Every structure is written in C-alpha cells, then in structure tokens.
Amino acid sequence: SYDLTQPPSVSVSPGQTANITCSGHHLADNFASWYQQKPGQSPVLVISQDTKRPSGIPERFSGSNSGNTATLTISGTQPIDEADYYCQAWDSSTVVFGGGTKLTVL
Amino acid sequence: VQLLESGGNLVQPGGSLRLSCAASGFTFSHYAMSWVRQAPGKGLDWVAAITGSGGSTYYADSVKGRFTISRDNSKNTLYLQVNSLRAEDTALYYCAKDGEYFDANFDFWGQGTLVTVSS
C-alpha cells in the first residue's frame, strides 16, 4: 500500500512561516491535497491539486509538490491556524491520507 | 452545501449498519462522493467512493468485501452498508463531496456519524 509520511508536530511563532511536509514515493506523480482540522470540527480543504486554494481560504496558505515531497506553507502564521493538518494523495482508484501534523503556534 | 450523516450506533462485532448522508445545496447527481472515517484520536482514513451516476465504486483494501457504497440520486442521499464489523472499524464516519469526477478533492464534509463496535 502507498504511504504518506508527515512529521507528527511542527511549532511556529506567530507571524513566522510554517512548512509542513508530506513524503511519498514519487508523490509528484500524483496530485496532493491538504486539509485542516481543528478540535471537534470536520476537516476543511485548504489546498487541492498541489497548489490550488479553494474559495475562502486565506492567501497565506500555499502548496507545492516536487519529487517525493509535497509541502504546505503558511506564511504569516496566525494563532487561528493552530490545528491538525493532513496531506492526501489520489491515484485514480484509491485515496491515501498522511498521518497528520499538529501545528502549534506559540 | 449541507451534508448530514446518520445511522451510526453501538453494534457488536460481526454486526451490520447502514449509514446515510443526506445532501442539499448542490446538484447531488453531478458529483462523486466519498466516505472517510476517523478513529478516536487518530487520523483520517478513506473508506470508499462512488461516481455521480453511481456507475463506479472504489474501496479501501481494509473494507473491500465488507462495506458497500451506494447512492439514490432521486433522494439526494449517499449510503454506506457496513457488514462484518470489527473493533477496528470504530470511528466517526464522514461523508465528503468530491468533484464532478472521483479525483479526491473533498471540498465539503458533513459532521460525521459515530460507529462503535464493541461487545
């Protein structure tokens, strides 16, 4: 089965840039998406198809995907961005999620 | 867009349930749909997907042969029949709206329905 690996946790100071990585074999051959999930809430799509930002998602969220690694970048991180973040890949017949990264803003 | 799941319950190992997801606010038949689950304190786990017409279905290996995804476009409702339940199937089950094709861009999620498998 295809595995996606994320760091369990990332810490960032308010106003700084947070980078959350997602690693998988030849990940760039598949589209990567990113979801934000706050405690007690349903996931929210923040990046689709590697780099697309859905309507309503702040511009500080961006994505990239190259080689074996996809990256979610949050520029000017705000306290409200503290959440769990999941990467996800799709290959026409199956969907895989990464294990999730807890972003702490302190 | 609104997705409202129901049907979750406490069930014994080996038991069955039918989960439902009532959709509104968009043309249901035009979009693929998926079920995604989340065990307590754990990450997201994709379960199954179905195309807008219902003509194609896709399953995670862990549920293949035990779970069946279906939809009734006349009722704007998505279903998941879960059979031969195991303790490891205990989770909050979300339905998620996809794009016009099954391409795993889940842009709207319901609030989930809880399935607990225990004797």
CA distances (Å), origin A93, targets A38, B20, B49: 28, 23, 9
What H or E segment, with its residue span, contains residue A69?
strand A69-74
Tell me if chain A has a CB within 8 Å of the CB of B100.
no
Residue A4's pLDDT is 95
Residues of A in contact with B61 (CB under 8 A): 1
d(CA A30, CA A20): 18
Tell me if chain B has a CB within 8 Å of the CB of A35.
yes
d(CA A88, CA A50): 10
Mean pLDDT of B109-117: 98
- pLDDT of B89 > 80? The answer is yes
- pLDDT of A1 > 70? The answer is no
B112/A42 CB distance under 8 A: yes
Residue B59's pLDDT is 97
DSSP class per residue in B1-43: -EEEEE---EE-TT--EEEEEEEESS-GGGS-EEEEEE-TTS-
Tell me if chain A has a CB within 8 Å of the CB of B46.
yes
Residues of A in contact with B44 (CB under 8 A): 35, 37, 43, 86, 88, 97, 100
The tens digit of pLDDT for each residue in B3-36 reads 999 999 999 999 999 999 999 999 999 999 999 9
d(CA B24, CA B71): 14
pLDDT level of residue B94 (50, 70, 90 thresholds): very high
The tens digit of pLDDT for each residue in A21-49 reads 999 988 888 899 999 999 999 999 999 99
As a whole number, the mean pLDDT across chain B is 97
Three-class SS of residue B69?
strand
As a whole number, the mean pLDDT across chain A is 95
The tens digit of pLDDT for each residue in A67-90 reads 999 999 999 999 999 999 999 998
HSE, side-chain direction, 13 A CA sphere, residue B25: 10
Task: Work out the number of other CB atoms within 10 angstroms of the CB of residue A68.
Answer: 15
Q: Could you tell me which residues come within 8 angstroms of residue A28 by beta carbon, excluding any fewer than 6 positions away?
A: A65, A66, A67, A68, A70
d(CA B7, CA A95): 24
B112/A43 CB distance under 8 A: no
